[in-house]
Structure 1
Amino acid sequence: MKTKLWLLLVAVALVVTACAAGPNVVSHVDGQQLAGFWKGLWHGLIYPVTFIISLFTDRVSIYEVHNNGNWYDFGFVAGIGLLHMIFGGHRRLTKRRREPSTAS
């Protein structure tokens, strides 16, 4: 039983890593300023708005492909996480107090 579980976990891990994104080959474009951490943070914060707009136009995208790599990605994910915390994600983490029952 344990062997089957380990094989299943390894198979799932291989499938998930096969779907990982590759390197950003567009990031080495000459003459353009690459987006960094702060722009990634901003793009993460405005993600919901840009996603809705991107459904209706091709001129707006939710992710800047001309970025400096890991720092932009970190800022983007941090912005989405910060947005999630601001607009209610933390409420699910807190436990609600239960009123003591007055059953006799």
Structure 2
Amino acid sequence: GGDYRCIAHTIVNSLAITSGIICDGAKSSCAAKIAASVDAGILGYQMYLEGQEFKDGDGIVVKGVENTIKNVARLGKIGMKETDKEIIKIMTDC
């Protein structure tokens, strides 16, 4: 029943909480990461209802939900390139 503002703030709050989660190739931990993300979504909504929110300048959060989503996408696409290589090295014990 939330309006656009409610949904946008819930998404921004959720992304601020979970943007540091990495995929490490371990299927068993994926379910836990999904559960944590769902929990972050609920927490993000509850924060909005209480008038609490992450604001422009809080980490990768910037003004506008679309811009925050772009930052998360940039983090995944560009920022995680070396992280992916390191995870593979760890998994293969190299």
Q: Name which structure has the greater RCO, CA cutoff 8 Å, separation 6+.
A: 2
- Work out which of the two has the higher radius of gyration on C-alpha atoms and give 1 or 2: 1
- TM-score normalised to structure 1 length: 0.29
Structure that is richer in helix per residue? 2
- TM-score normalised to structure 2 length: 0.31
